[in-house]
Amino acid sequence: MLVAICSIATRKNMNQFPETLRIELGKYVEMFVKYLTANYGEIFDAMKSGILWFLVTVESFLQWIPWWVAIAVVFLVGWRVKKQLSSGITYGIMLFFIGTFGLWALMMSTLAVVLTSVVISLLIGIPIGIVMAYSRKIETFMKPVLDAMQTMPSFVYLIPAIMLFGLGKVPGVFATTIYAVPPVIRLTNLAIRNVSKEMVEAAHSFGSSPWQTLLKVELPQALPTIMTGVNQTTMMAMSMVVVASMIGAKGLGAEVLIAINRIDIAKGTEAGLAIVVIAIIIDRITQGIAERFKIPE
């Protein structure tokens, strides 16, 4: 009997991971974030002010544009980029329907957050991608970091965003940027590395400096792939619209969140369709721009 009891107890202990071996990594991350807020709060306040100014400027401009002008611009851009009149008409009609849902102002607020996040992502991501292309060591270090950024649940980014910037649109932009920046970094790195070695060697043989080679040879050749990265980054920023609304980023995402809380099918359907429409229009236009930069074979 005693042997049986000891056997059961041993088996139970074997099925549980020892508490003595537990590493509280999250605790150290929390301590690090608190250290940043306590010692570098002025820097984050300055960053918040700068991002908020840019965001408000973009949103004010988008809200200032008359609705019919915005539809006309989307029609013309869709027509010229896709080289099909039907594409421009389709995008214009799709945008018109968002207005008929009564969501025009909220759509512009959402676009302001997305555009701000994409601009910051490009300013950060493209230079990092270029540096990775030139340094194998940096690429080796950055790859697992980018893997973690892309596989981390998007809700996790809200925690440091709130601790560093509080509630509102700015932490929403911060979380969206962290989530959306990996594709443009990866594809910029890939694009630069895939540039023909013969073309680079030819540029060097004609006396071009590394900086001239980058600007006049490598970047133009890599631009189609970089534009694909811009497309993917924009799509990932759009996917964060609802998540960012949980910490105060207003717009269509907030409408979806309210609809979920109230179980309002009508409101949720309209706001969800509006997000889908914007995503489709942005995706098709950015894809068309990327295709126009492709060099004919």
Q: What gap in Å lies between CA 77 and CA 285, rounded to an integer?
A: 8
Q: How many CA atoms lie within 13 A of 68 on its CB side?
A: 0
User: Which positions ≥6 away from 224 have C-beta within 8 Å?
Assistant: 191, 290, 291, 293, 294, 295
pLDDT of residue 77: 87
Residue 7 lies in a domain: no
What pLDDT score was predicted for residue 12?
Answer: 56
Helical residues (DSSP H) of 195-251, grouped into ranges: 197-205, 210-213, 219-239, 241-244
Q: How many domains does the chain have?
A: 1
- pLDDT tens string, the chain, 297 residues long: the values are 555 555 555 555 666 777 777 777 777 777 877 777 777 778 878 888 888 888 889 888 988 989 889 889 988 988 888 778 888 888 888 889 888 888 888 888 888 888 898 999 999 999 998 898 888 888 888 888 888 887 877 777 777 777 777 777 888 888 888 888 889 999 998 888 888 787 777 777 777 777 877 777 787 888 888 888 888 888 888 888 777 877 777 788 778 888 888 887 888 888 888 888 888 888 888 887 777 666 555
Q: How far is CA 113 from CA 58, 199, 217, in A?
A: 9, 39, 33
Q: What pLDDT sits at residue 106?
A: 87
∠ CA(105), CA(116), CA(80), 5° rounding?
75
> What is the pTM for the complete model shown?
0.83
pLDDT given for residue 11 in this prediction: 57
Q: What is the pLDDT of residue 162?
A: 77
Would you say residue 35 lies in a domain?
Answer: no
pLDDT for 264 equals 78
pLDDT for 203: 75
By CB atoms closer than 10 A (0-12, 13-18, 19+), residue 176 is buried
pLDDT at position 14 is: 65
pLDDT at 6: 54
What was the pLDDT predicted at 3?
54
| pLDDT in the model for residue 293 | 63
Residue 233 lies in a domain: yes
Q: State residue 218's pLDDT score.
A: 80
**Position 159 in a domain:** yes
Q: What is the pLDDT of residue 13?
A: 62
Domain extent, residue 127, equals: 48-293
pLDDT at position 224: 83
What local confidence, expressed as pLDDT, does residue 87 receive? 82
The confidence score (pLDDT) of residue 2 equals 54
What is residue 8's predicted lDDT score, i.e. its pLDDT?
55
Residue 93 lies in a domain: yes
Whether 176 is in a domain gets the answer yes
161: domain CATH number? 1.10.3720.10
